[in-house]
Amino acid sequence: METTDAYAIPEKINQMNEMELAKFLRKEISEEKLIILDFQYIQDEIECWWSKEKNNDNFQVLKFKLMNLLINLLHESDSYYFSNLGFNRSKIAAVCIKNVFRTDCHRLSLLVHESLSSLFQLTDIKYDYEEHKALFLKPSGEIYKDWGNGYGAITPHSDDLYENLNIDYLSLTVCRDITKTPTSYIFPRDILKTFNDLDLCKLFYLKARFLSGKNVAILKERERNILEYSEKYGLRFFLDFRIDNHTGERMQAVDPGEQYLIDMMRDNVSNFSQEQSIAETGTFLIVANHKILHGRPQMNIDKSEIGKYTKHSCFIDTPRLLFRSKGPRNEINFYE
C-alpha cells in the first residue's frame, strides 16, 4: 500500500482554538471561484489558421504554432489566468472557456486541448494501466456509472487520489457532444454547508483511504488526510464520492468512528445543486483538482441507442467526445 509522508500542519493553524479554526476554514472555502471566459473574439482566427494547417501531420509543430497564435491573439486580461489557477493568492478554482473553435474535428480539438493545457502549465501524466486521453462511449459502457467512458452519472470527485503523485490540474475539451451532457462541478463550501464548528474542525484532521476503480486496470490504494493547507495553495481538498461496481466506496475513513463525516458530505453532494459547464464543441474546462470537485450527470441519450455507437468504438461516430489531461503544475513559469 502506498502512503504519504508525515502530514505537517502549519503552526499558525495548530495554535487556533475550535472557533478560530472553523472561522478560518469557512472563510477560505467561501472565497474560491469559477471564471468563465469567451474566446469568440479569436475563434475566426483559429478556424482560419486550421483551414491552412490541417494537412500538416506534425503535431508538435502545429502545437507550437497554435500556442504562439493564442499568446499573440488573447487579451492580457484572459491570458492572466494561465499562471493564476489554483493558488491561494488568486482563489481561482476553475476556468471554463467557451467558443475557442467551432469545427467538429478530433485533430483540431486535440491540438487546442494540448495547447491550452500547456499554456495553463499542466504537465500531463499517462499511466500504462489507464485509458487516459479520449473520453467517449466504450463497449459495455451502458452498464457503468462513475466511469468516463460509461453512460451513467459520474459522482463528484478529485482525480487520482490513490496515486503517489498529486494531480494539480484536470482539463477537458469538448470536440463533440450531441447529447448535451455537461461536466458538473461542486465547491467544497457547498459540501460542508451543514457542518457545525466541531465537525468542521474534526474534518481538518480526518484521514481517509482512497481506492482506484474501473478506470484503472490494477487495484491501487493510498491513505492521506482529506484536507491540507499551505501558504502557496491555501486549502486543498482530497475528496472522492464515487462508488465503484467492484471496489465499492472509493473514499473511506481510516478510523471507522469518523466515517460519519464522509457520510455527511456524501449526503450534501446528493442534495446540493451542482454548477455545469458548456456541453458544446469548442469548450475548454480546467480545474484545480484539489479546489473543486468534478463529475457528470447521466449521459443524455436513450440507453437503447448506445449499442450502435459502441459497435466500432471510434472517434468518428461517437455522440460525445472529450479530450482529457491531468497532472502536476509545471513550476517553470514563463508568465510571471
Please tell me the predicted confidence (pLDDT) of residue 126.
82
pTM of the model: 0.91
Assign domain 2-327 to its CATH architecture: 4-Layer Sandwich (3.60)
- The predicted-structure confidence for 225-258, as pLDDT tens digits, reads as follows 999 999 999 999 999 999 887 788 999 999 999 9
Cell 484539489 belongs to residue: 290
Please tell me the predicted confidence (pLDDT) of residue 124.
94
Please tell me the predicted confidence (pLDDT) of residue 311.
67
Please tell me the predicted confidence (pLDDT) of residue 70.
98
Please tell me the predicted confidence (pLDDT) of residue 333.
55
Query: Which stretches of the chain score pLDDT less than 70?
Result: 1-9, 130-131, 215, 217, 311-314, 332-336
> Which set of grid coordinates corresponds to residue 36?
468563465
Please tell me the predicted confidence (pLDDT) of residue 186.
94
| Domain positions in the chain | 2-327
- The predicted-structure confidence for 124-163, as pLDDT tens digits, reads as follows 998 777 667 999 888 777 777 777 877 888 999 999 999 9
Please tell me the predicted confidence (pLDDT) of residue 4.
41
